Amino acid sequence: MKKFTISTVALLTVLSLTACGTTPVEISCEDAKLAMENPHTKLIDVREIEEHAESNITGNILIPLNTISENSLFGRRIKKDDHVIAYCRSGNRSMAAYDKLKELGYENVQS
């Protein structure tokens, strides 16, 4: 019973931290703006082309989620040791992009 209780408390703690946006994966708008001052930070817009055309952040690189690949990143000079920040409209696609980027070997990725 004690083991179950400790595991339950640990799980609830992780879930509450995730819900509060404190996971190391996420970055605030303010911190993203500061990060963009570094030339090794790449801001990737993972929305669709039409959404990007409607509005976008200066200095971003458009790579729609379904086109993220080793070739699309290399072609845009995004290196595996760059700080990569993915963004979209609601955060769902940027989190999926985070997963794809990590699978491709990118270590310093945020959403």
Residue with more model confidence, 74 or 2: 74
Does position 8 have pLDDT exceeding 50, yes or no? Answer: no
pLDDT for residue 23: 53
Specify the length of the chain in residues.
111
pLDDT in tens, 18-47: 344 445 589 999 999 999 999 999 999 999
pLDDT for residue 4: 36
Confidence band of 92 (pLDDT split at 50, 70, 90): very high
* pTM summary value: 0.76
Report yes or no: 111 and 94 within 8 Å, Cβ to Cβ. Answer: yes
User: Cα separation of 35 and 19, whole Å?
Assistant: 23
pLDDT for residue 18: 38
- Average pLDDT, whole number, for the chain? 82
User: Cα separation of 4 and 91, whole Å?
Assistant: 33
Does position 11 have pLDDT exceeding 50, yes or no? Answer: no
Does position 85 have pLDDT exceeding 60, yes or no? Answer: yes
Other beta carbons within 10 angstroms of residue 43's beta carbon come to 19
